[in-house]
Structure formats: structure tokens, C-alpha cells
Structure 1
Amino acid sequence: MSAENTPESGIQGGPGAETPRHRGKGRRRRPRQRRKGPLIAAWTAAGIVVLGGTGAGYLYLKLNGNLKSVDIDQALGTDRPQKTDNGSENILVLGSDSRSGGNKKLGGGADDGTARSDTAMVLHLYKGHKKAVVVSVPRDTIIDRPRCTDTDGKVYPAASGVMFNSAYSTAGAPCAVKTVETLTGVRMDHYLEVDFSGFRKLIDELGGVEVTTTRAIDDPDSHLKLTAGPHRLDGEQALGLVRTRHGVGDGSDLGRIQLQQAFVKALIEQAKSTELFGNPKRLLDLADAATKTVTADSDLGSVNRLMSFANGLKGISSKHMTMVTLPVRYDPADPNRVIVAEAKAKQVFTALKHDRPIPKAATEGTATGDAGGVVTSGE
């Protein structure tokens, strides 16, 4: 099965702490992990900020005060891939999983207030911003993490054979960006981080998302229980859907990525079809929730800059967005982990560098998780 996720591969569009490599035996374990849909909230937030930012001055100040930013450029310095001059842009979108505050009651895991990255997507906007491709990076991918410096100037040594998501938990956003740039050789022009609990609130403020399940889903770990048939998912149900791994496919992280990618398309179309201008209070609530949810790089860390960026996304519909997963294969040393399929991954990264479509050969014959066909459009 191809790693490329079309609308048929899940949901169609419609209205760690650092873990060293070790040997594993027997069947693949299915650890209880949580997952968010960061691009979902980031895309929604960007579009809503465009609308919400048109209000009065006090509203602008309120929304601007909600936004958090991190200076990626200062933390990383000049030892980075060169910026491209072909008109394209690359944005690293992460879902952060803090177990403090509003997130603590939404799932298991440590409650010490530390944050982890559970979802990573590289969004590539092609020249002209009329189409895009999303490359998901599985959190369980075994990589060599580069030497990192966090925003406080503390240096962390490089590490070999660790999970991809250890970069964020070790040194935050700058290390996550540096790890992706080291892995891909592609410069990340921007960074967006979406909070766990904020995702749920955004879906509720939007009025839910319509989907149809082709078979029943019952996953006690993600607290999701749906009969086969049409549903309008509220925020908690949507969060359960993008987190579920035991209820669909082979129970792997890769299968959940398929659901997340497809749900992004459904939500984009839902957001585009929702009438907001006729309801000022709803518009304000959406803008408030969106700006509280997002952390951006310093270049996007104001309402004006995020508005400008979002304006560049408005022409991209789900039909012009391709979803793929970083080409990986199961790690023979540990069946609970995956490793990069180097030759195929190189095709993906080369395409991004040169602003070209990702060749189908790059995503054929790689591990996918087999979660396709579980949910379809709400149409």
C-alpha cells in the first residue's frame, strides 16, 4: 500500500522522553500514546485570525496578547540549510502535549507540566500558494538527534538511535526544528505549535465536524466510541479520533497518522463552508480560541504577521493538498519503532527542495499502518 493518503485512506474532505534504541521480541506492542492533529488547529487558527483580526483596536490587542512566540532564528544561528528562492515555503507544525493545566484532564502521561511533541508535520507550500503537500513524521522514528541549544542558551549534546519526538522534549522548539532540518536537509521557514486542549476547543467553537464511519470504532484509550454511520463530532470526539490507534488498522502510530491526515482535509472543507461573518460573537470566540492555541516563530508571532501568512493559505483547498508520511520501515531491532527508508525519503526531500511534486515511487511499498477506509466524508 502506498504511504500517500488520499481521501479514501481515512477521512475524506467534507461539509517521550528520550528513548534509546533496544532490541525487542515478539509481537509489536501497542503502547498507550496520545496524538493530536496540529495542522488541523494551525490551519483553522490561521484562517480565523484573518477574520478576527479585522475588529477594533482593543480586539486586536486582545488577540495579539494571546499569541506566544519563540525566536527560532536566534536559537539556531546560521548553521542551517539555505533558504530557497523558488517562491515556496516550508513550515514545521507540531502538536504539543503538556500534562499541566487544561491538558492534564485530557489524557494520561506525566503531570509535571513538561511538554512533548506527539505529532509533527512538514507543510510545504508550493510557489504561488495554490497547492500544498504535508509530510508527516512518525514520532517513533529512530533518528540521530543533532546537538541542540534551547531558547535559554543551554546546550544539549547530540544523541544517536533515539526517537524523533525526543528532540522537542529535550530542548523544545529550536531542537525540533534543527532535527527536522538535519533529517531533511530542507530549511524550515516557519514554525507553528498547537496546544492539546486548544484543539478540542477550536472544534467546539467551529460547531463540530461531520464524518461518516464505515464501521464501528471503540477505543477505550482515546475514549472514542462511534457506531457505523454519520456523525457530527464535537471537540472531545474529534480529539479522540485523531488520537485513536487501537480502534483502527493495525493499532500502530502509522495508522493513526492516516486518520489525522484525512481529518485535516475534512476540517479544512468544514471551516471553509462555515458562515462566520454573520455571527460576530462566534467569530470572536473562534479568534480568541485560535490565538490562545498557537505558538509561532517570531516572524509569525503577531496578529498582523499571522494574518498575512493566513491570507496566503486561503486559496488552498483540500483537493489541492497532498498528504504523505515520511517513508519508513519497521525497525528490525525493535518492532515498536520505525526507521527512515533512506532512498525513498531522499526522493521526498529532493522534491521539497526543488518545489516539485513528490513522486509516487517515493511513497510506494513503505509502512503505512493500514487504517484506510475507516471514515469517509460527512457528505
Structure 2
Amino acid sequence: MSDQLRPRSKRSKQISTLARHGRLKRSNAFANVAKVLAAALAVVMVSGVSVAALATLNVAASVKPAVVLENETDGPMPTIGSIDGGANLLLVGSDSREGQGDGYGDPDEETSVLNDVTMLLHIAEDHSSATVISFPRDTFVPIPSCPNPEGGTFSSMSSQKINTTLNYGGLACTVMTVEELTGLSIPYAALVQFNGVAAMSEAVGGVSVCIAEPIVDEYTDLNLAAGEQELKGLEALQFLRTRHGVGDGSDLGRISNQQVFLSALVRTLKSAETLSDPIKLYSIAKAAVDNMELSTSLQSMDTMVSIAMALKDIPLDKVVFVQYPVFVVDGGVEPDESAAADLIAAVNADVSPTLAPGEADFLSVADPNAAVPAEPVDPAAPVDPADPAAEPTPSESALPSNVYGQDASQLTCSAGRPVEDQ
């Protein structure tokens, strides 16, 4: 898939669908679904009354001004404890370099701010599962009429890339676009920038990922040998940004690479070494809110804690990362409406998606040291009604083969791409 030059206008009204992105150095490829989980767990899990009180005060004082979403209400905030019912939360990664310091490219080289990472976290009504949907940055979608942060509204557009919505109408516009695309209501949202990636990976003490083949990417200055690598700080950011160095060099390959990292991060966050370390937990919470812009609904620490409490006991194999299904078209990708409908139906039904084995060139690979999984059941094979194991469980839903992803229990490795192919 060819790169796209980024639009230079500050308003998406003037963005052309033929615009093409620049080199990867100008693009952020990050979103971290565990940030809200980490921030909330720090307040709940920190041991000792005095430490917990200090953490709450300091973290709360760091929260940035809120972003008002169109569908928010003034209803009562939830009390401490798991949030009632399910929840949808949009996590957006911005490519803005403003105030981000050195190491991320020239802050003056871009005039637009794009959401090059857009992820939707869905928590099931009974808190038994969580699904994280990644929307490819180059997906052509309708953009609704969004509020202008400076007053008034922008006109709707029939087809623009989803990563232009942040520049068009801010975080609220990105939320409205995903709501229109999926039909889901999204009352919670958070925006994170470059420094958030490095700070969060430092706060957890590093994330151990498997590298199947060496990753060398001159666009992000990343050079990783094969084997287990512990990533944190700038190196973690480079790993999440790399596109040329993994898979087939496309943004879809980058999403698969990010899922390797995110699955490892979830395992790290849920490990005893993290949950029993009050200093580490406080550092995670502080790093999260220092580097995030939150919707009004997430400004309350009680709300963050309630969402985290709903997430913390979900089994690893029920935390599923998927890529929104798309077709490759000229200049980008378009939604596969049939496969997307199946995915959203599973989300609406609160079932844990069952993913078909992936065959695409851009996918990460299975960890050769991981236990061999059981052979998948052929849905066309005859079923013995006397065998209860042969009956599909109501909590699972098989998705089309082009809904790619993995769950957090699966051990996968990033597949490096030879330099000569870049």
C-alpha cells in the first residue's frame, strides 16, 4: 500500500482524497489501550492509605482540561467499583510534535495534526470480555458535521480518510466519525501524543516483545536483533511507529505489530510484579494523565477507576485485539461492510470474537517457543449432538477471515522486513 501525503490545511474542508502521506518519520503509529486501565489501577491498587491519598491528589492535579463530547450527559458519576454495564472508549494517537521535545522529527515540518492511531475499546456488559478495534489510518469514511472547537460547525463530507478527523474538528469529531461508522455510542475518549508512549513504557519497567526476524528501519532509526527484546522509552515508540521494518511495509502490518506490543503490555500490567508494586503503579498513573487529553466523562478519577475495575479481572484470552476489516483501494482502504457488520454485531452482542487463522503477508507470526494451540474446529464438519464440547459457546463468535488480530494470551512475534524490500 503506498504512502499518502498529508494534507497541509488546518481544516479538512480543504483536504483532498487524493492527498498522500509522507515518510513514516512524520507519522505517529501509536495507541495504547491499557493507558486508562493503568491510570485507574494505580489509584485503586496502590497499597497504604497515605500513598494512595498522595497518588490520587497528584494524579488528579495532573489531569489536562477536558474535551466535551456531543453525547455526554450531566448524570451522576459512578461510585468506586466496577462501572455498571458495558462501556465504549475511544483512544486516539496524535502525530502532533508540539511540546514533545526532541527525537520525534521537526515540530514545524507539519501544519496539520492527524490521528494516525484510532482504537475503540469495548467492555462487555457483564465485564467478561474486552474487544479493541484498530481503524487503519487510511480508511475512507464519511465524516459527519462536527463542532468547530472555535465555534460553529463544519460541513459533513462523504469520503475522507479517518486520520483527518482530529485536524478537522478535534477529538470530539473523531469520536463522532467512529460512532457514525460503527453505530456504537462512545461516551469516553482519550488523546495521547508521542511522549505518552515513552513515559508509559518506562513506567511499567519495559515491555518484553518477541522479534522473529531482525527489524531495521531507517525511517524510525530502529534496529532490533531477533529474540526477546525489552522495549521502553524512545525505543518502544520507534517499535510502535515502524511500518517499513515489519510485515509487508503497510499500515496494516504496523497494526499487527502494535498488537504484539499491546498484548505483551496487557500481560505485563496484569502480572503480579506490576500489581504488587505501589511505586510502579503510581508511576503508570502519573505517566498516563500527564500525557493524555481526556473527555469530560473521564476527568473524574472515580470514572477512570470504575472502568479499570471492570477491566482488571477479564482473562487474557478474552482481551481481543482486532483490525477493522478493509479492502485496498486506490490511495488507501475502504471498509469491508459485510465483515465489519459481523464484527460490530459481535460487539453489540457482547461476545468474545473468535478469529480465524490469518494468512496475510502483513501479519505477525506465532512465537515458536509458545505452546502449540489446539487444532481449530472446522465449522463445516459434522457435529455430534451428544458431544457438549462440539457445541459453540454463547460467549464466542467466529468472525470472517479478514478480521485479523489476536488475544492477549497469544504469544506472537514481530516479523522483520528485509532492508532491500523497503
| Pairwise same-fold verdict (TM > 0.5) | yes
1:234-253, Cα deviation, whole Å (9 max, x unpaired) = 22221111111111111000
Q: Report the more deviating stretch, 165-174 or 149-158.
A: 149-158
Distance 1:59 1:46 in 2: 11
* 8 Å CA contact retained: 1:42, 1:194: no
Structure 1 residue 343 and structure 2 residue 335: aligned?
Answer: no
Q: Which of 354, 360, 371 is the aligned partner of 2:363?
A: 371
Distance 1:71 1:34 in 2: 21
User: Cα RMSD over matched residues?
Assistant: 3.2
What amino acid does structure 2 have at the position aligned with 1:346? A
1:120-152, Cα deviation, whole Å (9 max, x unpaired) = 111111122121111110111011211100444
* 8 Å CA contact retained: 2:268, 2:274: no
Q: If you compute each CA radius of gyration, which structure gives the higher value, 1 or 2?
A: 2
Q: Which of 320, 323, 334 is the aligned partner of 1:322?
A: 320
Structure 1 residue 90 and structure 2 residue 88: aligned?
Answer: yes
**TM superposition score normalised by structure 2:** 0.73
* 8 Å CA contact retained: 1:104, 1:111: no
Structure 1 residue 153 and structure 2 residue 145: aligned?
Answer: no
Distance 1:159 1:39, change over 3 A: same
Structure 1 residue 353 and structure 2 residue 348: aligned?
Answer: yes
Distance 1:41 1:185 in 2: 25
Question: What is the number of equivalent residue pairs in this alignment?
Answer: 347
What amino acid does structure 2 have at the position aligned with 1:306? M
1:236-280, Cα deviation, whole Å (9 max, x unpaired) = 221111111111111000000011122111011112225357655
**TM superposition score normalised by structure 1:** 0.81
Overall identity of the aligned pairs, in %: 31
Q: Secondary structure at the match of 2:92?
A: strand
Q: Which of 297, 300, 309 is the aligned partner of 1:299?
A: 297
* 8 Å CA contact retained: 1:99, 1:114: no
Distance 2:282 2:261 in 1: 24
Q: Report the more deviating stretch, 317-326 or 172-181.
A: 317-326
Long gaps (5+) in structure 2: 1-5, 74-83, 369-410, 414-422
Distance 1:302 1:191 in 2: 13
Distance 1:294 1:30, change over 3 A: closer
Q: Which residue of 1 aligns with 2:38?
A: 44
Higher relative contact order (CA 8 A, sep 6+): 1
Distance 1:222 1:49 in 2: 35
* 8 Å CA contact retained: 2:318, 2:352: no
Distance 2:412 2:322 in 1: 22
Shift of 1:103: 5.0
What amino acid does structure 2 have at the position aligned with 1:327? P
Distance 2:118 2:23 in 1: 20
**Residues 268-307 of structure 1 aligned to structure 2 (within 5 Å):** 268-273=266-271, 275-276=273-274, 280-307=278-305
* 8 Å CA contact retained: 2:207, 2:261: no
* 8 Å CA contact retained: 1:327, 1:340: yes
Q: Which residue of 2 aligns with 1:189?
A: 187
Q: Which of 62, 87, 93 is the aligned partner of 1:66?
A: 62
What amino acid does structure 1 have at the position aligned with 2:336? A
* 8 Å CA contact retained: 2:39, 2:286: no
**Residues 19-30 of structure 1 aligned to structure 2 (within 5 Å):** 19-22=15-18
Long gaps (5+) in structure 1: 1-15, 79-85
* 8 Å CA contact retained: 2:89, 2:120: yes
Q: Which residue of 2 aligns with 1:200?
A: 198
Shift of 1:360: 5.1
